Structure 1
Amino acid sequence: MSDQPSAKPSPVFPRRVAPLRALIITMAVMCYLACLAIGALVLINRATQSWTQGLAREITVEVRPLSDAKLDDEVKKALSLLEATKGVLSTEALPLEDSARLLEPWLGKVEVDDLPLPRLIRVSIDEANPPDYEALATSLTTQVKGASLDTHQRWQNEFIRLGNSLTLLTALVLGLISLATILLVTAAARGVIEANRSIVDVLELIGAEPHFIARQNDRQFLSSGLTSGFAGLILGLLTFSALGVFGGAADEAMAAAGRSLFFAPQARWQLVAGLLSVPVAATLIALLVSRITLMRILGKDL
């Protein structure tokens, strides 16, 4: 008996095949796009939740200036009425300068004396026991001249609708990326067979089963899926890190979005779970689709 260790058998097909090299590059790009889509999805869900919760915690009372009433007196009446309302935690009458700043995007910088600006009252409410908005609106209208109540319900519905639409769009993008990846793996599997047609013919002549022939490529496609998936994952993490660190130079909102993905605990765990699913999905797609394609080409289904 020989003392030399047995040599590891070489693979039937060459390890470096042109279709697989192209597959790794294109799948890495697809995985990178999938990571970006997942990050955008997490960010959209977080932003929508933050906006709707912020709107749900506050309501706004607007007191418009009228010719037959003194604005400051009507504001005091509104504050007294709000403070006596069950479910109201705190009130704050904003100065006219704040109302003027809200108009700057449309009118530019304006002086408070140039326009009949309304006074705004910020009202914090108890989310567990909110006030009766209909009764409160009626009381304000009847007891305070020029007063109106804004519960922000319309804006909440708009934000929820926008978030749902963007979530659906992101899911559609992920679906298209998955479909493109499946087509890429299918084409690569066909390319491997065509590039090694002579080897396949010899194996069939000596009686090799289709399962054996297809199984020779499992390791290569498994390696291709893992390599592509983790390459896309690393590129995605670098992109989100750059967005949080350098995004402020172009847009502070983009920088804040990038930072929120990493420093908000809930968003961070959602992002990690979503990104880790990319290499797993890429590996499964590469392995399963290549096996099914090869078996069909060899004339026998799984």
Structure 2
Amino acid sequence: MKLYPIETGNFKLDGGAMFGVVPKTIWNRTNPADSNNLIDIAARCLLIEDGHRLILIDTGMGNKQSEKFFGYYSLWGSHSLDQSLAKYGFHRNDITDVFMTHLHFDHCGGSVQWNKDKTGYEPAFKNARFWSNESHWEWATKPNPREKASFLSENILPMQESGQLHFIQKPTGDFLEKSELGFGVLFADGHTEKQMIPHIQYQDKTIVFCADLLPTAGHIPVPYVMGYDTRPLLTMPEKTKFLAAAAAKGYYLFLEHDAHNQIITVQETEKGVRLKDVFSSNEILTSC
């Protein structure tokens, strides 16, 4: 097995929205804001090469939305999905599976693209199976008013219309020991219904793709919950349980949205679970 970080592009979000009720004087220490109160955000995905399978976890925003739409998110940097794949010798047509942690636009927008004459949409990975889960798909395709702006039909429905959509099996509890893609999946409901958090056994390590359960290293303290979460009071016990396991078992936490910290570990302290070490992807994701 080989793992590759796939940088699909950077953007900015309002720091207050990213930290909910936590005062700026506190979160600004770890996630400094610019003059518009915006903080740096990454869309860092993960590619798994395992035998004949090439599995991409999340796909970033994509590039099909309007200039006005992208203007809300202050795109910055030079990363792109195609360039990042090419860095490791791959093309999007090589991808066999696209695993979507959830269907918010910044996680699945790159899964769908315009067709050639821009009259409609088509899957951006023509040879891949797209993986969601039935409960989240139902939630995303019939969105509540709070999340409607994040669940864009053009990002979602073409995967089903193409016949390429598949659902991960339902877990008996909140953890699926081994999914159809070969890795464990934690199901979490605080951010959105049935977000899926992959746990990948890699060499002697457990690599956890944190998605929006832990957006950045600055979100480690349990009350530091995004204003975007639909059930913040549920996020807190989910984070508590997850971070306790991460500290006890020495998980390596792959951060999708932290523009400056790629992989971290955590430890128990007198104040609760806190940051232990920070690593670059190159330090941890060495091929075997």
What range is the shorter-chain TM-score in?
under 0.3
- Identify the structure with the greater strand proportion: 2
Larger gyration radius, structure 1 or structure 2? 1
- Identify the structure with the greater helix proportion: 1
**TM-score when normalising by structure 2:** 0.18
